Amino acid sequence: MFQLRDLRRRAALCAAVLGVVALAGCGGDPEPVDSRVVVLGFDGMDPVLARRWMDEGKLPNFSRLAEEGHFQELGTSNPPQSPVAWSSFATGKGPGEHGIFDFLRRNPETYTPNFSISENIPPDRFIKLFGLQVPLGSGEVLNRRQGEAFWVKAERDEGARASVLRIPVTYPPDDIHRMLSGMGVPDLLGTQGTYTYYTTTRLGDAGSSTRTVRVRPDRQGRIESEFEGPPDPLLESGEPMTVPLVLEPAEGGALVQLGDDEVSLEPGEWSDWIRVAFDVTGPVSVTGTVRLLLVQGYPSPRLYVSPIQIDPENPAVEIASPSGYAAELVEDIGLFHTIGMPEETWSLNEEHISDAAWLEMEKTILAEREAMWFETLDKNDSELVVGAFVQTDRVTHMFYRGLDEQHPRHADTAPEHRDEVEWIYREADRILGETMDRLGPDDRLIVISDHGFAPFRKAVHLNRWLVDNGYLVLEEGATESDVIFSNVDWSRSRAYALGLNGLFLNLAGREGQGIVAADEVEALKAEISAGLAEWTDPESGEPVVRRVFDGEAAYRGPERGDAPDMVVGYHRGYRASWQTTLGAIPKPLMEPNRQKWSGDHCIDPALVPGVLFSNFTPEVEIGGIRDVWQLTRRQIREDES
């Protein structure tokens, strides 16, 4: 087996003789690696679905891996959400230690939800000059995840080189041999994905991840508008920088001018990448990349503009390590999506784009990810290679309705789109096969998913349940509440739900307007828990909640202060409503999920385990996703000895 120590010795020799530290300095390409630990993730791959299609002979590479190596269910994190589970994967620790408990974390002072994964800290000093605000020193981005990732440890302790591609919760990037950040990378607006939708007709409120621009064509059909970028960092008013956008009727569709580019599109057609340059007051400009989709042609055109990606060739923030790596990748594979969650699931959920257009975008993203994954494997210059494909998760979220005959959206899902979940599993199988073809005889392969899947048939308004049972109190005269508890009377409220699984007490001394005394906590938690256990769906008589976890008991470690007081584990088929996650309280207690986001996994973790495959038999028992850390560490250390 390959000896890492040899490599280090050679590197040291190299450094001594030539005065360079990099191995590459020893003459051309780095020494190829004889044996590697390769960890390949397929987000959301479900063991039951995998087993079904393996048995039907549809996933031959997974079947071969299971036969020649190992296949088991892999316990997920609590709650079973991707950022939580991938953080446990990276650090080998639970949420009490790594600090990621949900997609959203709350500010207890204001009851406001924030993105839990990363945090932008603005520069704190400005010179105010002639109405401009000039930052002194750039702002900072923090990865909120605590604990050390196994790739960092492997580089430091074993001298291995690690290549880590698009693993969730790796933004900003770790300073390692090679990293491209995944979930957590913002768009150029600093959000997790804001798209822009130009329309000539009025649309309903589509939520905060959409910018809807109402436009009016002149008599010739010409539409003159603007495309807004980030706020000018030098202007105190925070006015956005813009580039002109013009739309005109053209043979078969429309001609679109965006900034300096011009593209003609047919209805349903995606453009290639377009680079947009926003001029900051003064000599600098910041660039981003977008793709356009002509959703609908004339006479009532609709144009979709993707979230503005951080330009990998001229990144406004660091998205890769070393910092030139993203640009290098562009040279090798062309421009690619850089945002942490590039799949525009919300635009499909809002039905701003069609199933077919969404799937085409998904195929583009999949092809980009494949290209970078295979390029990294082919380079063969890292003892540890780690990458994740999240497309399995996204397609299953959006097309579970095709698989699930009981789903409210099954009937109107076109027959040609009913088997998309099977399609993405076959794609995963193909990627696995091509990965296995690239492995050397001593390479160890570990394939995992972070959680499985379940149908999402009913949206549960947990905050309404809390209102109905007297734990959350609306202001005098109010019958419902908008997001962030706009109509809640905190002086009489004892509990509230926020995020996908979290339930919090309105604790005195912790929450901004807390009223629950420390000595009332245990009894209140027990009472709410018992109430939720008895909650049944009036339509079917089925229980809604399978288990409620006490945050105090579920989490250990220094970060537990951020944890929910209770974690709600829904039954199969149920999930917190979107309104609940953001602290809104509509009138009904629950309702059929009539949206295309039709599969989910944010329920009782016991119902949604992930998968573990390997081309060797693990020497230790692997119970859950955090144990993969040990498994990987063991393989790396074995290489070293």
CA distance to 128, 547, 575, per residue, from 502 (Å): 42, 13, 12
Residue 100 is classified by DSSP as: -
Q: How far is the CB of 607 from Zn ion (least distance, A)?
A: 14
Q: How far is the CB of 392 from Zn ion (least distance, A)?
A: 9
Q: What is the CA radius of gyration of the chain?
A: 25
List Cβ neighbours of 197 (8 Å cut-off, separation of 6 or more). 203, 206, 210, 211, 212, 213, 295, 302, 303, 304, 305, 347, 352
Residue 557, by phi and psi: left (phi above 0), alpha (psi -120 to 50) or beta? left
Q: Which stretch binds Zn ion (CB under 5 A): 83-91, 288-296, 380-388, 390-398?
A: 390-398
Q: How far is the CB of 407 from Zn ion (least distance, A)?
A: 16
Nearest CB to Zn ion, comparing residues 287 and 396: 396
Token pair listed for 207: 């939520």
Q: How far is the CB of 339 from Zn ion (least distance, A)?
A: 16
How far is 586 from 590, CA to CA, in rounded Å?
9
Nearest CB to Zn ion, comparing residues 73 and 228: 73
CA distance to 234, 280, 443, per residue, from 283 (Å): 12, 7, 51
Q: Which stretch binds Zn ion (CB under 5 A): 113-121, 166-174, 227-235, 386-394?
A: 386-394
Cβ burial of 215 (10 Å; 0-12, 13-18, 19+) is middle
Nearest CB to Zn ion, comparing residues 228 and 393: 393
Tokens 């040279």 correspond to: 331
Q: How far is the CB of 247 from Zn ion (least distance, A)?
A: 35
Q: DSSP string spanning 185-229?
A: ---TTSSS--EEEEESS------TTEEEEE----TT--EEEEEEE
Calculate helix-pair angle for 420-437, 391-403, nearest 10 degrees: 150
Q: How far is the CB of 601 from Zn ion (least distance, A)?
A: 6
CA distance to 73, 107, 445, 635, per residue, from 432 (Å): 18, 42, 10, 20
Q: How far is the CB of 104 from Zn ion (least distance, A)?
A: 14
How far is 132 from 463, CA to CA, in rounded Å?
44
Site size toward Zn ion (CB under 5 A) is: 1
Nearest CB to Zn ion, comparing residues 227 and 574: 574
Token pair listed for 158: 């074993």
Tokens 């077919």 correspond to: 356
Alpha helices in 245-354 (DSSP H): 325-333, 345-349
Token pair listed for 78: 């609590």
| Contact map string, positions 130 to 159, toward Zn ion, x by CB under 5 A | ------------------------------
Nearest CB to Zn ion, comparing residues 232 and 393: 393
Q: Which stretch binds Zn ion (CB under 5 A): 161-169, 314-322, 393-401, 613-621?
A: 393-401
Q: Which stretch binds Zn ion (CB under 5 A): 92-100, 245-253, 391-399, 567-575?
A: 391-399
Q: How far is the CB of 141 from Zn ion (least distance, A)?
A: 23
| Residue 239 identity (one-letter amino acid) | E
Q: Which stretch binds Zn ion (CB under 5 A): 253-261, 392-400, 485-493, 605-613?
A: 392-400
Distance, C-alpha 61 to centroid of its chain: 26
CA distance to 456, 468, 500, per residue, from 587 (Å): 20, 10, 19
Token pair listed for 473: 């109190």
Nearest CB to Zn ion, comparing residues 296 and 392: 392
Alpha helices in 472-597 (DSSP H): 521-533, 551-554, 578-581
Nearest CB to Zn ion, comparing residues 168 and 514: 168
Cα end-to-end distance, the chain, whole Å: 9
Q: How far is the CB of 447 from Zn ion (least distance, A)?
A: 18
Nearest CB to Zn ion, comparing residues 34 and 393: 393
Nearest CB to Zn ion, comparing residues 154 and 395: 395
Q: Which stretch binds Zn ion (CB under 5 A): 178-186, 272-280, 388-396, 609-617?
A: 388-396
Nearest CB to Zn ion, comparing residues 344 and 393: 393
Q: How far is the CB of 450 from Zn ion (least distance, A)?
A: 8
| Contact map string, positions 321 to 350, toward Zn ion, x by CB under 5 A | ------------------------------
**CB-nearest residue to Zn ion:** 393
Q: Is 393 in the site for Zn ion (CB under 5 A)?
A: yes
How far is 276 from 267, CA to CA, in rounded Å?
22
Nearest CB to Zn ion, comparing residues 368 and 393: 393
> Looking only at residues 295 through 314 of this chain, which bind Zn ion when binding is defined by CB under 5 A?
none
| Tally of CB atoms within 10 A around 459 | 22
Q: How far is the CB of 453 from Zn ion (least distance, A)?
A: 8
Nearest CB to Zn ion, comparing residues 393 and 565: 393
Q: How far is the CB of 367 from Zn ion (least distance, A)?
A: 21
Nearest CB to Zn ion, comparing residues 365 and 488: 365
Q: How far is the CB of 603 from Zn ion (least distance, A)?
A: 12
Interface with Zn ion (CB under 5 A): 393
